[in-house]
Structure 1
Amino acid sequence: MGLPADQLSPGERIVLETHEHWKHLVGAGLICLAAVVGLVVVLAVAPQQGVLAWLDVAAWVACAVVVAVFGVWPFLAWSRRTYTLTTERLATRTGVLRRSGRDIPLTRINDVAFEQGIFDRLVGAGTLKISAASEQGTLTFVDIPRVHQTSLRINEQVRAVRGR
């Protein structure tokens, strides 16, 4: 998922590993569903012979493109965007074709806050805001599942690192 074992330092262990909440994919799923419904409608009403017989093939191609662009690609991007809390750092990894990442040592984290809208509260997700002593200042992580527990785990790990 997030960090392979060869990217952990000696004695470092993974405490929490997650990616964005599934609600992040709802829009893409609805678009794919609409594409499939459109395909079924075109296949049902398009003539099998004559001048418009090519509509069947065009509908299949259009549906495949929509599902690839608005379904498969967002799912791959979602599954490859991970957040990993270890005993020493908070690591983010993103990207399908080109990977990028950011590691924040727990000793640099100053504040952990979260926000939840109504829909976020219904599904148990939220936005996590982490203030770190760095050039970027506050980092925002959107659609984090179980945001209360994640915030608590980060705070516990920061206290544990500072207590060493």
Structure 2
Amino acid sequence: MGLPADQLSPGERVVLETREHWKHLLGAMLICAAAVVGLLVVVAISPDSGFLAWLDQAGWIAFVVVVAIFGLWPAVAWWNRTYTLTTERLATRSGVLRRSGRDIPLSRINDVAFDQGLLDRLVGCGTLRVSAASEEGTVVLKDIPHVHAVSLRMNELVRALGHPGQD
């Protein structure tokens, strides 16, 4: 899912791989549901013949475009956005057509914090904030499933390295 074995250094092992919670796709799902309703309405009211006979085909074309742009594309982008915690680093990867990534060595992590809104608590996810000793500063990872467990595991790994910034 996240890092292929050939991108791991000797002795490094994957501790946790995840992607954003499915909650991140709720907006896309609602838009697709509205597109289905819209299509059903257009198909139901479009005449079989006459001046507006083209309305049926236009409804199908609009449906396909809306689902592709607002449903399929966000789902593919979500699938390709991964977070991998190894024994040596936190690796983020994202992008469909153009990939980008960031690796933060665990030895550079100063602080790991999380926060959760009401909906986050209901579905079991949250925002993870990882502060690193670098120019980029804090990395914000939104909608992380089981954010408590991820935060705890990351703190354990940083502490195991003997990092002075952790208790």
Instruction: Specify if TM > 0.5.
Output: yes
What are the residue-to-residue correspondences of 1:22-41 with 2, within 5 Å?
22-41=22-41
Q: What residue number does 2:113 align with?
A: 113
Q: What residue number does 1:97 align with?
A: 97
Shift of 1:159: 1.3
Q: What residue number does 2:75 align with?
A: 75
Whole-Å separation in 1 of the counterparts to 2:71 and 2:162: 43
Structure 2 unaligned spans of 5+: none
Whole-Å separation in 2 of the counterparts to 1:85 and 1:162: 17
Please list the CA deviations of residues 106-162 of structure 1 after superposition, one character each: whole Å capped at 9, or x if unmatched: 000000000001111001110000110000111111111100000001011111222
Whole-Å separation in 1 of the counterparts to 2:18 and 2:48: 49
Q: What residue number does 1:126 align with?
A: 126
Aligned amino acid, residue 50 of structure 1? G
Shift of 1:82: 0.3
What are the residue-to-residue correspondences of 1:32-71 with 2, within 5 Å?
32-71=32-71
Q: What residue number does 1:158 align with?
A: 158
Please list the CA deviations of residues 59-104 of structure 1 after superposition, one character each: whole Å capped at 9, or x if unmatched: 0000000000000000000000000000000000000010000000
Whole-Å separation in 2 of the counterparts to 1:87 and 1:139: 18
Whole-Å separation in 2 of the counterparts to 1:14 and 1:117: 29
Length, aligned pairs only: 163
SS at match of 2:111: strand
Aligned amino acid, residue 148 of structure 1? H
Normalised TM-score (structure 2) = 0.96
The share of aligned pairs that are identical, in percent, is 73
Structure 1 unaligned spans of 5+: none
SS at match of 1:162: coil
Whole-Å separation in 2 of the counterparts to 1:154 and 1:108: 12
Q: Which of structure 1's runs of 4+ aligned residues deviate more than 4 A? A: none
Aligned amino acid, residue 98 of structure 1? R
Q: What residue number does 2:145 align with?
A: 145
Q: What residue number does 1:5 align with?
A: 5
Shift of 1:53: 0.3
Whole-Å separation in 2 of the counterparts to 1:18 and 1:33: 27
Aligned amino acid, residue 133 of structure 1? A
